[in-house]
Amino acid sequence: MKNSSIVYFIVLFFLTSSCGGEEKPKDITWTQDQSSNLNKEWASSENYEINQFLERHKKWKMIETGTGLRYAIYKHGEGEIAVSGLNALVNFKITLLDGSLCYSSDSTGAETFLIDRSDVESGLQEGIKYMHVGDKAIFIIPSHLAHGLIGDRDKIPPLQTVIFDIELVDLIK
């Protein structure tokens, strides 16, 4: 199903583009319903892939939120809970569903971001608020909560689910 969506975009691109001074392409009407249906098809396909991944990782007891974020806290700390407006200091590894490593604080060092007020993934912003200082968690973040249609233009491809293995090291006021 995912491949059919990609093929559909490619065919649509070639149908709507022209090579120089050749005849003008015919008007193509693209409706809001067609966009909505394509988006639903993509989300359904991505959800299926995430569920297949979780079938192979049954020991992860994931909780799914209303937005589609899945998370599991596998080590519980005893510090304060993360809330909006605090700076979160985190160690992390970011991988794709196929296991490809994208980023890791092992090579970059721990990073800090302002909860609910910075440009990190909205899925990360949501998930961090379930954590206490000292917690370690896994977040499975669907593309619409991660890097979306264009990826991060570096190591995360377009329309990819990302997995964060994350530790909340500290909260800074």
Look at strands 70-75 and 136-141 and give their pairing: antiparallel
Regarding whether 133 and 67 lie in a shared domain, the answer is yes
Confidence band, pLDDT 50/70/90 cuts, at residue 39: confident
pTM: 0.81
Same domain, 84 and 141: yes
Are residues 126 and 171 located together in one domain of the fold?
yes
Q: Is the pLDDT of residue 7 over 50?
A: no
Considering the domain architecture, whether residues 34 and 93 belong to the same structural domain is answered as no
Q: How confident is the model at residue 6 (pLDDT cuts 50, 70, 90)?
A: low
Give percent of the chain above pLDDT 70: 86
Instruction: Write out the residue range of the structural domain in which residue 73 sits.
Output: 62-173
User: 127 and 160: one domain?
Assistant: yes
| Sign of the alpha-carbon torsion through 84, 81, 60, 91 | positive
CA distances from 11 to 23, 36, 99 (A): 18, 18, 30
What digits encode the pLDDT tens for the residues 63-87?
A: 999 999 999 999 999 999 999 999 9
How many independent structural domains does the chain possess?
2
Task: Give φ, ψ of 87 to 5 degrees.
Answer: -90, 130
Average pLDDT, the chain: 90
Whether 73 and 46 share a structural domain? no
